[in-house]
Amino acid sequence: MSRVAAIDCGTNSIRLLVADTAGGRLVDVLRRLEIVRLGQGVDRTGRLAPEAIERTRRALAGYAGQIRELGADRVRMVATSATRDAANRDDFRTMVLDTLGAEPEVITGQEEAALSFAGAVRGLASAAAGAEAAVEAPYLVADIGGGSTELVLGSVEVDAATSVDVGCVRLTERHLAADPPTAVQIKAAEADVLAAIEQARAAVPVDRARTFIGLAGSVTTVAAIALDLPEYDSARIHHSRIPAERVRVVADRLLTMTRSERAALPVMHPGRVDVIGAGALVLRVLVDELHIAEVVVSEHDILDGIAWSIS
């Protein structure tokens, strides 16, 4: 048995998983999430804001302490969309080396997609063995992040993958300025997602998929609302199946709510209040354009894929 530590630093959040690997399984020791909004303003300026780097440093310092205390044998940290796009990513790299003592890997969209797929589908068949309906391959995995969305098709391994620059932070900053967003703003955001889907179709034969799997905080939050949970419950959300119509209802509801109304939802993480409408919109447009009947929701994602990669 070995103990690994995986860190996923995205546009909106930085997450930590410390896990033991034994018998072909990951056994969680610790999972943590901090909303740091590293991608604040990157779509507009092309640079990581100093205050965003500092927020990330503070969260990472806490993670580094816990990794030492828990005695992880191997550590891997990856950074995704916001850092890929930033002209000053060397400032981020220096901060991570000083804070964590390990090199941050700024991975490509293709690498991000492959890690997300690995995290989502490993163990999916056995987990669904007792379900009423089979979870059939090939799977189309959609990882809706803060700066980008990855679409990956495969069964055991990745057959095709792409990354497109539509995510909940990027679309919110680009289009959804009003509280709540106006119909014109929502249409503009939808147009970006539709263009991204057309771009994705050129790289990924999405129509071959038999099961659509949704990942990351926007999807899990939509699922929690669709399930009418009294509080966020990972166990209830993981491998839940949300019909397309419920996705549409929840997305439309979130896009017409004020910030204070979204904040009052019992399942809402405070760091997602500003951007959940855009994330739900991405999911809803994907469901509509790809003629998805239901979304299989996974709490396992790129973070688990990173852990598997060093296990």
Domains and CATH numbers, the chain: 2-107 (3.30.420.40), 111-303 (3.30.420.150)
Burial of 4 (0-12, 13-18, 19+ CB in 10 A): buried
Give the pLDDT score at 95.
97
Quick: pLDDT tens for 234-256: 999 999 999 999 999 999 999 99
Is the four-CA dihedral 269, 275, 277, 279 of positive or negative sign?
negative
Q: Which amino acid is at 231?
A: E
**One-letter identity of residue 109:** G
- Give the C-alpha separation, 44 to 14, whole Å: 21
The sign of the CA dihedral 105, 109, 114, 116 is positive
Q: 123's torsion region: left (phi>0), alpha (psi -120 to 50) or beta?
A: left
pLDDT for position 125: 57
Tell me the pLDDT of the chain (311 aa) as tens digits. 899 999 999 989 999 999 999 878 899 999 999 999 999 998 899 999 999 999 999 999 999 999 999 999 999 999 987 788 789 999 999 999 999 999 999 998 889 888 999 999 986 755 544 444 568 999 999 999 999 999 999 998 899 999 999 999 999 999 999 999 999 999 999 999 999 999 999 999 999 999 999 999 999 999 999 999 999 999 999 999 999 999 999 999 999 999 999 999 999 999 999 999 999 999 999 999 999 999 999 999 999 999 999 98
Phi/psi of residue 23, each to 5°?
60, 35
Which pLDDT score is estimated for 25?
87
Give the C-alpha separation, 23 to 32, whole Å. Answer: 24
How much is the pLDDT for 153?
A: 97
**pLDDT at res. 128:** 47
**φ/ψ of residue 208, rounded to 5:** -80, -15
pLDDT score recorded for residue 133: 57
